[in-house]
A and B are shown apart, each in its own frame.
Chain A
Amino acid sequence: DAGITQSPRHKVTETGTPVTLRCHQTENHRYMYWYRQDPGHGLRLIHYSYGVKDTDKGEVSDGYSVSRSKTEDFLLTLESATSSQTSVYFCAISEKKREVYNEQFFGPGTRLTVL
């Protein structure tokens, strides 16, 4: 199994509070991603990173920010959590070898509930 961990695994918070989710990898992969999983939508990309301090927005980035200060860590922050951000969040990593973007490896997920 690829070495990807997410913390916390479960979190319940209140509307308006800031929340930070952490993704940690031991694979030294260049690319990291944050997705959210919602019924009827599958996996939707929030933000991604293509290197240390190199990040960009995905499909559903409003209300989220990210940071990547080290290769191994990718943080997702909800500045002021809303109930619509209740979801399961997955981190993923991938690498590019011989000009091919390889498959993504996913972390175990974080279940976030915003009351």
Chain B
Amino acid sequence: DADVTQTPRNRITKTGKRIMLECSQTKGHDRMYWYRQDPGLGLRLIYYSFDVKDINKGEISDGYSVSRQAQAKFSLSLESAIPNQTALYFCATRRQEGTGELFFGEGSRLTVL
């Protein structure tokens, strides 16, 4: 089983719909992240959380919200999806800041029509 699991893996939706992407991890890490990937633009940080009571905006948080339901769960919501939110979304965890790698899920591909 994957250490970082994202659901759904693929989703097609319409403009204006509310969408939730879920992430769960078995690594026991406190730190969780949501990144967005667009072709040619690399990975950009949307939101991150250092523990259950800590939520921080990243580089491109507008139009998104998150919920840290437990140490192991971090969900990303699009309250009213728009076409330019069509992208590949990655959840990641990290053991600590400053050093150490991010562990990524397999990604959730979202298409907004």
**Chain A complexes with chain B:** no
